[in-house]
A and B are shown apart, each in its own frame.
Chain A
Amino acid sequence: MRALCYHGKQDIRCDTVPDPRIEDPRDAIIKVTSCAICGSDLHLYDGFMPGMENGDIMGHEFMGEVMEVGRDNTRLKVGDRVVVPFTIICGECEQCRRGNYSVCERSNRNASVAAKVFGHATAGLFGYTHLTGGYPGGQAEYVRVPYADASAVKVPSTLTDEQVLFLGDIFPTGWQAAVACDIEPSDTVAIWGCGPVGQFAIRAAIMLGAKQVVAIDNVPERLVMAKAAGATVIDFDQESVVERLNELTGGKGPEKCIDAVGLESHATRSVDALYDRAKQAVMMETDRPHVLREIMYVCRPAGTISVPGVYGGLVDKIPFGAFMNKGLTMRTGQTHVNRWTDDLLRRIEEGQIDPSFVITHRASLEEGPALYKTFRDKQDGCVKVVLRP
């Protein structure tokens, strides 16, 4: 089959690789009808996440048709149309039973390596480094889905691929980011990053009834898309984010802040950004936490910070004094996708939201490597790429 494979930093190729096979009785093999490139894939592409190996199949946002099921998989049938969450879950361990799916205790088959790095292992993820299991990803014609009986989400034929594909990651991710803010009708929610995750966080915050949603980025097309949903926008190249946010909140700062940027944050005209670049370059720091610093500084005392943006290792010069003295709360994590999928599928069916708004580029798998670059560089107005193998 054809698949997008990792061959080193900024080197993704469309290779021919062996087809996947059922390895466990709970598995299913999915024929991928649509898959997408995610901001998380860019962290791999740019070489910021450890644990990728030559030839690893990329991709964790995909959906398709069930081709084959293992003998213990009684929930799925050949021909079912499913979206597959990017977090692999057993559905039975203590964390899964609590709904903390992204820290499933069983699905990470490289748990001992992960535990060395993070203290404890987290769930297995598709196409996302050997720290999270080294599972072949979904930017491919076929994928083996482990524990498919617990995770795969059946979707009705009345909805198109483009309407449901994002149930596997970015819609629930933006949703959980907003839910973790426990939004009240009087809240201002400020969202850093208007990439796909930010776009869904913006929409989730609006749906959950925030008084005001403020979106921050410097990419014009993305700011326009944020504004289209009803957000107030700040271009961080043009104005001071801190000043503007204070202005919009009577000097008090936003009650709820969401970091939908993660470890590759950019900054203009700021000393800390240069400092981070230099430290990252000499490997004394793995992540650039400019956005986190800004959030801790501007967030209203007693407010909440929600961090869907991915970090991989060490950050430096965190204003923890501000965080502690202001009594802030922080919520983080990879998304517990399956916790939200049923409810969000219903909201799509009811017409509360149509997730396909975010798609700007559609292409074949072969065009994938070039589109990684387009998406990374935010060229040609690229916000979200969908590939059809």
Chain B
Amino acid sequence: MRTFLSRHHADPTANTIAQALGWFSIGLGALEILAPRKMARTFGMPRSRGVLAGYGVREIASGVGLLWAKDRRPWIWSRVGGDALDVATLAAGMGPSNPRRGTTGLAMAMVLGVAALDIFCAARLSAAPGRAAPVRDYSARSGWPRGAAAARGSARDFATPRDMRAPPGLRHLNGGEQPG
């Protein structure tokens, strides 16, 4: 029997967070791509705008991955990796030579906060057993007290009411009479 491996419902909390992080990634990525100069200046790191645009592409990729991919795990881990890069980049800008290191510090605090969420979510998603097997076995719940063979067509005595008949012009497709 094939195994069922579905990310849905396995861990609803982690899935909800992953989805929120996905949208967040896309939003932040768009900002980094559309206004890298402005962002770089805000942090007092005008020379890092090329880097920022690059990070924007990375953010959008993780976001799309988180929202669309069948398996979210690689994408959430890619965010964790990206957080490390962000931290390194911001750390480089925290030196005394940066007149705006206050803002940079704030950004650092935010990145660390989101990173914590990323790590939590990545851990939860990776810990979830996936959906290797149904948690309960309903293979005996046929609903047929007299067995499956007896059930097939057991209601052929039922006459479809007139208002629910398939249109007569179409019935021949089903092997019945030809339309008149």
List the B side residues contacting A228 at CB < 8 Å. 138-143
Of the residues B8, B145, B173, contact of A354 by C-beta under 8 Å = B145
Contacts A221-B138, A377-B9; is A179 near B161 (CB within 8 Å)? yes
Evaluate contact between A379 and B68: CB separation under 8 angstroms: no
Q: Does A180 contact B (CB under 8 A)?
A: yes
| Beta-carbon nearest neighbor of A218 in chain B | B6
Residues in B whose Cβ lies below 8 Å from that of A352 = 145-146, 150-151, 154-155
CA distance A225 to B61 in the complex (A): 38
**Smallest Cβ-Cβ distance to A352: which chain B residue:** B154
Contact with B along A193-220 (1 / 0, CB 8 A): 0000001000110111100000000111
Provided the pairs A179-B164, A182-B166, A269-B69 are in contact, do residues A381 and B148 lie with their beta carbons within 8 angstroms?
no
A8 CB–B CB distance under 8 Å? no
Q: Which of B149-165 contact A (CB under 8 A)?
A: 150-156, 158, 160-161, 163-165
Q: Which residues of A contact B67 (CB under 8 A)?
A: 274
With both beta carbons as reference points, the residue of chain A lying nearest to B71 in the complex is identified as: A237
**B127 / chain A contacts, CB cutoff of 8 Å:** none
Q: Is A51 an interface residue (CB 8 A)?
A: no
Give Cα A175–Cα B70 distance, bound, in whole angstroms. 34
Tell me which residues across on chain B come within 8 A of A379, comparing CB atoms: 9, 12
| B108-159 with Cβ < 8 A to chain A | 131, 133-146, 148, 150-156, 158
* Chain B proximity mask over A242-256: 1 for CB below 8 Å, otherwise 0: 000000000000010
**Across the interface, do B140 and A347 meet the contact criterion of CB distance under 8 Å?**
no
Residue of B nearest to A353 (CB): B143
Given A179-B158, A218-B8, A237-B6, answer yes or no on A353-B145 (Cβ-Cβ < 8 Å): yes
A94 in contact (CB, < 8 A): no
The stretch of A14-22, A105-113, A313-321, A355-363 in contact with B is A355-363
Tell me what chain B mostly uses at the interface: helix, strand, loop, or mixed.
loop
A119 at the interface (CB under 8 A from B): no
Query: Which residues on the A side are within 8 Å of B70 (C-beta)?
Result: 237, 268-269
Chain B residues near A229 (CB-CB < 8 A): 142-144, 148, 151
B170 within 8 A of A: yes
Are A203 and B151 interface neighbours, CB within 8 A? Answer: yes
Q: Tell me the minimal C-beta distance from B15 to chain A in angstroms.
A: 10
> CA of A347 to CA of B163 in the docked complex: distance in angstroms?
22
By beta carbon, the residue of chain A nearest B156 is A209
Among candidates B142, B165, B171, B174, residue contacting A357 with C-beta atoms closer than 8 Å: B142
Chain A residues, Cβ within 8 Å of B164? 179-180, 182, 331
Determine if A187 and B174 form an interchain contact, defined as CB atoms under 8 angstroms apart: yes
Q: Which residues of B contact A304 (CB under 8 A)?
A: 166
User: Which listed residue, B4, B153, B176, touches A220 by the CB 8 Å rule?
Assistant: B4
| A176 nearest in chain B by CB position | B164
Give chain B's interface residues, CB within 8 Å of chain A: 2, 4-9, 12, 67-70, 131, 133-146, 148, 150-156, 158, 160-161, 163-167, 170-171, 173-176
Q: Which 7 A-B pairs have CB atoms at the shortest separation, nearest pair first?
A: A381-B136, A357-B143, A209-B153, A184-B174, A207-B155, A220-B4, A220-B134
If A237-B5, A255-B174 are given as contacts, then 20 extra A-B residue pairs at C-beta distance below 8 Å, sorted by A number, are: A181-B166, A182-B166, A184-B176, A186-B174, A206-B153, A207-B155, A209-B153, A209-B156, A228-B138, A230-B142, A230-B151, A266-B8, A268-B8, A268-B70, A329-B167, A352-B146, A354-B143, A378-B9, A379-B9, A380-B135
Task: Show 8 A/B contacts (Cβ-Cβ < 8 Å), sorted by A.
Answer: A199-B143, A209-B155, A218-B6, A221-B136, A235-B4, A235-B6, A360-B138, A379-B9
